[in-house]
Amino acid sequence: MLEPRFKLLYDGDCPFCRREVEWLKRRDRANRLDLENIAALGFDPRRYGLTWPEVTGSLHGILPDGRVVRRLEAVRHAYEAVGLGWLIAPARLPVIRHVLDGMYRAFAKNRVRLGNLVGRGCEHRTCEKSFTPR
């Protein structure tokens, strides 16, 4: 029987996000991780009960039962899906989770700008515009 899959909603216009997704794909030997680019034409966050400001504001994941997880919790599930849950296991501890979630919020708000600063700019230059539904 196939194990349930976890779906990660990621920003394909974010240079860091693209790099992380590629890294996760290479490690997904059991094929347990689905990836959906929120910057792709036709993506509609309402399919998951979300809004554009929500999906562009932070990382989201969809559990096999349809529940939505956010920020570091989505990262944790993605790592677990590819067999690397041990790398992020300390993030389950309340104090560490709180600190890392705060750091994630700051990163998420500035992810494209930070990518441009370190020479990992937007692939299709679409992220220079304000994010609007496609």
* Residue 98, pLDDT score: 83
How far, in Å, CA of 42 to CA of 6, rounded?
21
Q: Return phi, psi of residue 85, to 5°.
A: -60, -30
Segments forming the whole domain that contains residue 110: 6-125
Q: Would 30 be classed as within a structural domain?
A: yes
Among 21-30, 80-89, 104-113, the range of highest mean pLDDT: 21-30
Is residue 134 a part of any domain in this protein?
A: no
How many structural domains does the chain have? 1
Nearest 5 degrees, angle CA 126-CA 131-CA 134? 80
In a domain, 133, yes or no: no
Question: Regarding beta strands 6-10 and 33-37, do their DSSP bridges make them parallel or antiparallel, or are they unpaired?
Answer: parallel
Average pLDDT over residues 30-43: 94
Which range, of 8-22, 89-103, 117-131, averages the lowest pLDDT?
117-131
pLDDT tens readout for residues 43-67: 999 999 999 999 988 899 999 999 9
User: Does 107 reside within a domain?
Assistant: yes
- Evaluate whether 36 touches 9 at the Cβ level (below 8 Å): yes
Q: Report yes or no on 121 lying in a domain.
A: yes
Top-confidence residue, 124 or 28: 28
